[in-house]
Amino acid sequence: MMNARNMAKSKVKKVKESAPKKGQNNSTGSYGAEQITVLEGLEAVRRRPGMYIGTTGTSGLHHLVWEVFDNSRDEAMGGFANDIEVALLPENRVRVADNGRGIPVDIHPKTKVSALETVMTKLHAGGKFGGEGYKVSGGLHGVGVSVVNALSSVVYAEVHRDGGKYMQEYKNGGKPLAKVKKIGSSDLHGTIVTFEPDPKIFPEREFNWDTVVAHMRQQAYLVKGLRISIIDLRQAGKVDDESVFYLRELGLDAPSTSFYFEGGLRSLVAFQNRHLEPIHKNIFYIEKEEEGVQVEVALQFVDDISSRLMAFANNIYNTEGGMHVTGFKAALTRTLNAQLKNGNGGGKEETFTGDDVLEGLTAVISIKMREVQFEGQTKSKLGSVEARGATEAVFGDAFGRFLEEHPDDARAIVGKVTLAMKARKAAKAAKDSILRKGALEGMQLPGKLADCQTRHAEEAELFIVEGDSAGGTAKTGRDRRTQAILPLRGKILNIERARLDKMLSSEQIKNLVVALGTAIGDIFDITKLRYHKVIIATDADVDGAHIRTLLLTLLYRHFRPVIDGGFLYIAQPPLYKIKKGKEVFYAYEEKEKVRLAGENVPLETEPVAEESEETGEKGKRGVKISVQRYKGLGEMNAEELWETTMDPARRILKQVTIEDAQEADQIFDMLMGTDVPARKSFIQSHAKEATLDI
């Protein structure tokens, strides 16, 4: 959830503006036809990569893997492949192999080059545009593998088909070195694509094993009978990737895993709920085609207040939902309201809302259709209107029958949703009494908040600090114009299973809500955020880590746009203050302390400076070294806290990001929820990774 590589010093970027040249017309300048830039082929992708993969950061880097994999996965969806291997190789290369039909290598009648070269070098080219190449595919836009080629320094495409083995190499943004050539015979069929992201495009090129595994696990759930293998060969040295079709056959001692699920979406729902307690035994499941749209839905309600809703269109994960989600929600609300009015709990005057029926729901919606339409190249939202009607009809009819055939499950589900409805009304009453619309403007800011002078949110910072001692030091050492301080008294409420009315009864949480200015719940408004840097500053000990986790849970569950907008940071105070003679250094890591002071300087449990001496040449006495260990922000004086943690020119901040919302959701469920065995197992398996300060 938190990317340590985003640790960076705050900098001010200066932009130098220039006046128009003498004689130049200010309104039009020299703007003519010659100033219109025409980008041809893959040059446009290299010039504006964000338009095609979203970002050149770590998520965009991994998007390259997904695009190549999607081609192989589409072969499996069409029934032409059942085995895909993704291999992470040395030199930041990735190799994807499938046993599909193999990309054609004969000459394309329009482009006059091989079909392979056409697919690899032309945007909007492939078997997904008309014809019978694919009845269902995820890559309708047709930019997948060609975009990967454009953003790579080297790509190797190997094709096995029609008894031959063919190869073509591309370099420096998609340029083929030569025509595709036959390099041998083969009894196999399939395609192998190996690529290396271009360092000129991607500042960080290290692929994350866990990210790749999580994505491939998800895809294996969505295609029944498909085996997906992942192998990490980055530490294996030189890999002979020409001797075998699948590198796992080499038998190298390397991390690897494989996924194969016959249960499909049922298995995915069970996996999502593994740390939660289901309120009904049977997982609902339906798979049916309606007017050319294949609809597949699985769901189960659990004892929780959060919802987990995943949507896919042609196996592409739609993070922003879309038409299929709209149809699903409409059918879910209508069907459960019908149960309520038919006497299965509640009263006839009661009505469930869309929020009520989502509470505690884990659901996966997957639709497959030929002419799928996405909003944007990254396919985060489904725009196909016909998917709404098909999903609503298929799911609504099947879920109604499910509730009739499983009366115990029906009573449990309606009972769960009825509790959510009652809690919503209670929370609304509490919210209306505390944070009713318009009240924030007149509500007095919390007394413990030392606000900043500026009223421009883009330059204002809020430091959330642990305890009055650190709060007092921070208030003294801050820049009063731009920096506000809000001290917390002890540990805040664990809100993972707390409803809004209980949360707002907590003085600490209420103070934070008022200080942020966004309100909470259905009147939350991110545009009213009073600080564009919200900085969590806790002590470097176990209690500080716990408080930080509680705050992150609160912000993730109820202030998610603050994180998505890039407004949340974690301060990185130093662990040690080191004096070498008259020079002062701060060490933020143990290895940095050893580098500056050596390994032989003892430390007491109290924050008292210990001194030692360095011996120079010929036994001469050297400079004295003293090392002080900081265990809390309150142990620093105001000047030290400013120098190390608050000064924008010198401080180190970690920006909190959410690279995988599903994984983040599951981690919060496990760490802050009621599943004690899962939490114990997590602690035991990660114990060696922890740095304890006891």
Put residue 534 in one of left, alpha, beta given phi > 0 → left and psi -120 to 50 → alpha: beta
Distance (Å, whole) CA 648 – CA 11: 7
Of residues 638, 323, 347, the one with CA closest to residue 475: 638
| Residue 292 contacts residue 268 (beta carbons within 8 Å) | no
* Residue 98 annotated in active site: no
Non-local CB neighbours of 458 within 8 Å, separated by 6+ positions: 532
Selected catalytic residue, list 541, 592, 660, 663: 541
Which three-class secondary structure state does DSSP give residue 285? strand
The pair of three-digit structure tokens given for residue 478, joined into one six-digit string = 């801050």
Cβ burial, residue 33 (10 Å; 0-12/13-18/19+): exposed
The residue type found at 503 is M
Concerning whether 543 is annotated as a catalytic residue, the answer is yes
For the question of residue 539 being annotated catalytic, the response is yes
Q: Which of 367, 460, 355, 365 is nearest to 417 (CA)?
A: 355
> Sheet holding 461-466: strands in order across?
483-488, 461-466, 533-537, 568-571, 653-655
| DSSP helix/strand/coil, 270 | helix
DSSP 645: I
Distances (CA, A) of 46 to 51, 171, 379: 10, 13, 20
374 in Cβ contact with 382 (< 8 Å): yes
Gap between the Cα atoms of 160 and 180, Å rounded = 12
Active-site residue, selected from the candidate residues 392, 539, 643, 665: 539
Nearest to 402 by CA among 320, 331, 343, 460: 331
State the Cα–Cα distance between residues 84 and 97, nearest whole angstrom. 6
Instruction: Give, rounded to a whole angstrom, the gap between the first and last alpha carbons of the chain.
Output: 26
Q: Buried (b) or exposed (e) across 498-537, using 16+ Cβ within 10 A?
A: bbbbbbbebebbbbbbbbbbbbbbebbeeeebbbbbbbbb
Tokens of 441: 């403007």
In this structure, what DSSP letter does residue 642 have? Answer: I
Query: Which two three-digit tokens encode residue 400?
Result: 């109604």
Per the rule left: phi > 0, alpha: psi between -120 and 50, beta: everything else, 544 is alpha
Residue 509, Cα to own-chain centre: how many angstroms? Answer: 26
Q: Is the CA virtual torsion 560, 566, 567, 573 positive or negative?
A: positive
Residues sharing a CB contact under 8 Å with residue 539, sequence separation 6 or more, in sequence order: 466, 470, 631, 632, 633, 634
Q: Which of 299, 274, 160 is nearest to 217 (CA)?
A: 274
Catalytic residue among 43, 204, 459, 543: 543
| Residue 123: half-sphere exposure toward Cβ, Cα within 13 Å | 14
Which residues, listed in sequence order, are joined to residue 368 by a DSSP beta bridge?
A: 294
Active site residue 210: no
Provide the 8-state DSSP code for 103.
-
If you compute the radius of gyration of the chain from its CA atoms, what whole number of angstroms results? 29
Per-residue tokens: 421 = 């409805």
Amino acid at 621: R
Q: How many helices (H) and strands (E) does the chain have?
A: 21, 23
In Å, what is the CA distance from 254 to each residue of 88, 231, 357? Answer: 11, 7, 45
Active site residue: 67, 196, 290, 466, which one? 466
Q: Structure tokens of 159?
A: 């094709």
Give the residue numbers marked as catalytic.
Answer: 466, 539, 541, 543
